[in-house]
Amino acid sequence: MSDVRFTNSRSQAISVAYMRFDQACGDDCGDPWDVLGWATLQPGETKTRSNPSNNRYFYYYAESVDGAVWNGPYTAEVATQRFEKCICLGVIVQNGDPSSPYFDVGFRELDTSQFGGVNFTN
């Protein structure tokens, strides 16, 4: 699939982070996965995200303002603000400050050969 759809069928807004295959990340640091966030979906809204490699697997993590979470066993770093990050790039510590805007969450796998996207429901 060249695009993946995210649909919010809930009554609360949802924010989605996603991970897609990107050979440029593999060339840069050895692990070809790019993590991006956040796509914010209002109730009833659908947004698409590109899958430029047409890779069969696409990963997502989502959370709703009411506390609902859609997660899984595939760990990657996300940030609270909008971001894009190759999964294999670490955060550089400057001046001895170990603080990082990134934290780990678990992503779910989406097999795009079976499903063209995710419909978040109650």
What is the pLDDT tens value at each position of the chain, 122 positions in all? 589 999 999 999 999 999 999 999 888 788 899 999 999 999 999 999 999 999 999 999 999 999 999 999 999 999 999 989 998 876 545 555 566 788 899 999 999 999 999 999 97
Distance CA 21, CA 9 (A): 27
**Considering its fold, how many domains does the chain have in total?**
1
Q: pTM for this structure?
A: 0.89
Q: What is the pLDDT of residues 34-60, one digit of tens each?
A: 999 999 999 999 999 999 999 999 999
Is 37 a domain residue? yes
Nearest to 37 by CA among 59, 18, 60, 52: 18
Is 33 a domain residue? yes
Tell me the two tokens of residue 86.
Answer: 């190759």
Domain that holds residue 104: 3-114
Tokens 């996603």 -> residue: 18
Is 32 a domain residue? yes
Is 83 a domain residue? yes
Is 92 a domain residue? yes
Which parts of 1-122 are beta strand (E)? 3-8, 14-21, 33-41, 46-50, 57-64, 69-70, 74-79, 83-86, 102-111, 117-120
Is 81 a domain residue? yes
Is 120 a domain residue? no
Is 119 a domain residue? no
